[in-house]
Amino acid sequence: MSLFRFATVQGQNIHWFLKRNCSVTPAQLGWLYASLCVVSLGIGTVFWFHGAVMVLPFAWAELMAVGVAFLVYARHARDGETISLQGRQLVVELENAGHLERAEFNRDWVRVEPCAGDRSLIELSGQGRRVNVGRYVRPELRPVLAQEIRRALRGAGGETGLI
C-alpha cells in the first residue's frame, strides 16, 4: 500500500497532479455556447420579423458577454500544478492560463513550509528559488500534502517513499 494520498508512484518517480476542479471541459463549453447562440438568435430573429427589432441587437450583446465569460473560464480550465520527484530532482510546474512556469530543486536542499500559517499555500524553497503550491487543494488538506512531500523528499522506507 502506498504512503501517499495525493501522489502517484511510477517506478522510482513520485508525481503529484493538482488540478482545478472543473465540471465542464472547454469543448463541452463550446458546444453549450453554440447551442445557446442558435436558440437566442433564433428567438431574436422571430421577434425581429414581428416588429420588435431591438431584441436581436440585445441578443447579440448578451451572447458577446457570455462568450467573453466562457473564454475566461476556458482559459483557466486547464490550470494546475505538477510536482515530480525524479531521482535527485524535485520539479515543479505551474500552469496558469496557458503560461507554464517551471522550477527545479535539488532534493537535498528543498525546504517545505507553509507560507504564513497552517492553512496557507505550501512554499517550496531552495537554492535561491521559491515556489508556492497547493492552490488546488482544500486549505485543511494542505498540511497533509506538505507532510507527504517532506516524506517523499526524505525517502521514507526507501528511495521512492514506499514501505
Q: C-alpha cell of 76?
A: 483557466
Query: Angle at the Cα of 77 (from 150 to 23), degrees rounded to 5?
Result: 95
Average the pLDDT over each of 11-20, 94-103, 150-159 and give the range with the smallest value. Answer: 150-159
* Domains defined along the chain, listed by start: 7-20+82-154 (2.30.29.30), 26-76 (no CATH)
Q: Please, which residues have CB within 8 angstroms of residue 8's CB and are 6 or more apart in sequence? A: 14, 15, 16, 17
Q: How many residues are listed for the chain in this entry? A: 163
The residue ranking higher by pLDDT, 4 or 35, is: 35
Q: Where are the alpha helices (DSSP H) in the chain?
A: 26-49, 55-76, 142-154
Query: Which H or E run contains 99?
Result: strand 99-106
The residue ranking higher by pLDDT, 36 or 155, is: 36
What's the rounded mean pLDDT across residues 54-82? Answer: 93
Q: In this structure, are residues 39 and 31 in contact, taking their beta carbons and an 8 Å threshold?
A: no
The residue ranking higher by pLDDT, 118 or 139, is: 139
pLDDT, mean over the chain: 89
DSSP 8-state class, residue 121: P
Give the C-alpha separation, 139 to 75, whole Å: 24
CA contacts within 13 A on the Cβ side of 38: 6
- pLDDT surpasses 60 at 135: yes
Residue 163 is predicted with a pLDDT of: 34
pTM of this structure: 0.73
The residue ranking higher by pLDDT, 70 or 4, is: 70
What's the rounded mean pLDDT across residues 131-157? Answer: 88
- Of the chain, the percentage scoring pLDDT greater than 70 comes to 93
Most confident of 31-35, 70-74, 117-121: 31-35
